[in-house]
Amino acid sequence: MTTPWSPRHDIRRPIASRVAAPREPVDHARIGQRVVRRRAKGMDAAAVARALEEARFDARQDSRHEHLADDTRGRAELAEWERIDQMLTDAAPGTVYDPDADDVVQTELAAEAAAAAREAELREAARIAARADDLQALRELGTLKQAEPREGDEAVRDELARRAGGYIPVDVDA
C-alpha cells in the first residue's frame, strides 16, 4: 500500500530549524500590571475603588495559602490598583482611567521601545561581526573570490577595514 506522503525517514531537515529560539523569561509582575490597566480602562474612581477592594480581598485569601506566598503577579496587581485608585482620587471628579494618558504607562512604553532598539542594534552588530569573521576566514583560505555577496556587506567591509587598521585588502575591496 502506498501513502500519499513521503515516509517520515525521508524528510531531512536541518536540526537548527527544529530548535526553538530562546525566549526571554516571563515577568509575572508586568503581566499583572497590564491586566489591571486593561481592566481599568474607562473605569471611574468608584469602579476602581470596588476593584481595589476585590484585589485586597484576593490578597488576603492568597495569604492563607502557602503556595501563593511568593505570588508576584498578585502583589503587582494590588499595587497597580492602588496606584490607579490614588491617581483617580487626586484627579477631577468624573475622570475615567485612560492608559494612554497615564504618565507611568507612557514612560514604561518609551523605556521598552528604547530597550528594543538597543537590542536590535546589538543583533545587527553581532550579525556584521559574524559575517566579517566568515569573510576573514575565506580570505585566509584564499577563496574569498568565490563568496556570494549578501545584503549589508558594505557594513561588513567597513568592519574588515576597521580591523585592518584602515587598510582594505584588494580581495575584500572587490
The arithmetic mean of pLDDT across residues 5-30, rounded, is 65
Q: Between the ranges 7-11, 15-19, 62-66, 84-88, where is the mean pLDDT highest?
A: 84-88
Asked if residue 173 has pLDDT above 90, the reply is no
Closest CA to 37 of 75, 74, 77, 88: 77
pLDDT of 83 over the 90 cut: yes
pLDDT of residue 146: 58
Interatomic CA distance for residues 82 and 174, integer angstroms: 64
- Residue 162 above 90 pLDDT? no
What confidence category does residue 169 fall into, taking pLDDT thresholds of 50, 70 and 90?
Answer: low
- For residues 40 and 80, what is the distance between their CA atoms, to the nearest angstrom? 10
Q: Give burial (CB, 10 Å; 0-12/13-18/19+) of 78.
A: buried
Which 3-state string (H, E, C) describes the chain? CCCCCCCHHHCCCCHHHHCCCCCCCCCHHHHHHHHHHHHHCCCCHHHHHHHHHHHHHHHHHHCCCHHHCCCHHHHHHHHHHHHHHHHHHHCCCCCCCCHHHCHHHHHHHHHHHHHHHHHHHHHHHHHHHHHHHHHHHHHHHCCHHHCCCCCCHHHHHHHHHHHCCCCCCHHHHC
Q: Give the pLDDT score at 81.
A: 95
How far apart CA 33 and CA 39 sit, in angstroms, is: 10
Model-level pTM? 0.65
Compute how many other C-beta atoms are within 10 angstroms of the C-beta atom of residue 145: 9
Q: What's the Cα-to-Cα distance from 79 to each of 11, 63, 75, 109, 163, rounded to whole Å?
A: 53, 15, 6, 19, 51
How far from 135 is each of 54, 130, 160, CA to CA, in Å? 62, 9, 9
Percent of the chain having pLDDT more than 70?
78
pLDDT tens per residue, range 94-153:
899 999 999 999 999 999 999 999 999 999 888 888 888 887 787 777 776 656 667 777
Q: Is the pLDDT of residue 62 over 80?
A: yes
